[in-house]
Structure 1
Amino acid sequence: MVGLLNLGSLVLGLIAWTLPVVNLMRSKKHEHKNWVVLSIMSISACSISLCFQIFYNYHLVKIEDWGALMDTMYAVAFAATVLLIVTIILNAINLIVYRNFITK
């Protein structure tokens, strides 16, 4: 059951990247209604994904699986950093694209 935290983290991370891309594709169709909601959902999916990783690391500490923690901590920290940076960049691009429509 705890292994589902990693799967959930992966799925939510992909959702966090997919929503801004979908939002950018919709910008050419002049559909500007829900872009803020999609950006908030993207940032929320990223946050929940990172939270799942924290819960999984807590589980490893609780069962005292120090080997698993030492083996995977670098990769988890790197993946979390990439997830966060790419999500912020994609949502910042959305903000830049849609800011012209905010003022109109």
Structure 2
Amino acid sequence: MDYGLLNLGSIVLGLTAIALPLVYLAGRGDAIRRRWPVWTVGSLMCCMVALCLQPFYTNHLIEIEDWGALLDTTWGVAYYSAGLVGVVIFLNLVSAGMRFLENKAQEQE
């Protein structure tokens, strides 16, 4: 197995987790707006899977005893993970707030 794909998959899924709420926030059509839960759950799931791939790569580095790579990448993985979680939560809270405001505006009409 090519363990480098774990890092690539983590990056792609992390970017997808960030992109999904941005697509929702930028979308103007009813098809996008009605499916708010799908965008939010999809974003959170991509974030979770991206974070789950990292321990497998770390385990691979431990198994092959590549201590240098482990020492070089551990801090980056920690900051990447914290940053990803923070950005994804923030964007999904913003999209939830927008959804709440849209529903409130529709109720007042």
TM-score by length of 2: 0.87
Hey, which bits of structure 1, 4+ residues long, moved more than 4 A? none
Aligned twin of 2:16: 15
Bigger Rg over Cα:
2
Q: Which amino acid aligns with 2:95?
A: N
CA distance in 2, matches of 1:102, 1:4: 42
Count of residues in correspondence between the two structures: 103
Q: Which amino acid aligns with 1:58?
A: N
Q: Alpha-carbon deviations, 1:38-91, whole Å to 9, x = none?
A: 110001001100111111111111222111111111111111111110000000
CA distance in 2, matches of 1:48, 1:67: 26
TM-score by length of 1: 0.91
Aligned twin of 1:70: 71
CA distance in 1, matches of 2:45, 2:99: 19
Using CA pairs below 8 Å that are at least 6 residues apart, which structure has the higher relative contact order? 1
For the pair 1:83 / 2:84, whether they are aligned, the reply is yes
Unaligned runs of 5+ in 2: none
For the pair 1:95 / 2:96, whether they are aligned, the reply is yes
Q: Alpha-carbon deviations, 1:17-58, whole Å to 9, x = none?
A: 0000000012x4444211111110001001100111111111
For the pair 1:55 / 2:56, whether they are aligned, the reply is yes
Task: Name the SS for the 1:64 alignment partner.
Answer: coil
